[in-house]
A and B are shown apart, each in its own frame.
Chain A
């Protein structure tokens, strides 16, 4: 099973919005609403910021939002802040009852 496809890096200025894409197939992202997004700061464990495509865990800022169209899911961060600089990973449940990740996207806040 191949990994999901994410851009290696994105950047934006404070206050701007950015979107990170996550492309899968009709065996994972395309057929399940079980896409998650994780934020990982250097030296730290991943932190769940979006689950089930669009839902936010308690305590996660509403500046983070998720969506999906066909085989591609997206994470949008609005009102960029310096603290948002981190690596972001998407994941999806698959037809084989397993979990796959994207390669990760490094977000730089300029």
Chain B
């Protein structure tokens, strides 16, 4: 059974770069998209972007200038970087497998809370 686990610092200073890693276990196929989402406390979900196993990426236009998603294929890990963070980037960050079109996105990791504060 495929499982995803997010990891990274829980506290980031304003203007710095937020870096998170998603580790995938139990996966054998390379034919999947891996997404990042976030959810500010008490608010709704936002799609950040995805990377396909081949390396192609697609980002939410509202975040595109500050976001990058990359992968380490040998380790089944996918990384998210968000530059120049502000308090508005404080959120629970989730990684999840699947297409944003056909088939839906599942499973999801448990999420990791990132707070932007000095």
Contacts and interface: CB of A to CB of B under 8 A. Distances in A.
Interface of A: 1, 3, 32, 34, 36, 38, 44-48, 50-52, 57, 89, 91, 93, 96-104
Interface string B72-111: 0000000000000000000000101010111111101111
A32 B47 CA distance: 18
Given A45-B110, A45-B111, A47-B108, A34 B44 contact: no
A32 B98 CA distance: 17
Find the residue from A38, A44, A45, A97 having the highest chain B CB count within 10 A. A45
B45 interface: yes
28 contacts: A34-B101, A34-B102, A36-B104, A45-B108, A46-B37, A46-B94, A46-B108, A47-B106, A48-B98, A48-B104, A48-B105, A48-B106, A50-B104, A51-B104, A89-B44, A89-B45, A91-B100, A93-B100, A96-B61, A98-B47, A98-B60, A98-B61, A99-B60, A99-B100, A100-B47, A101-B44, A101-B46, A103-B44
Given A48-B105, A57-B106, A101 B47 contact: yes
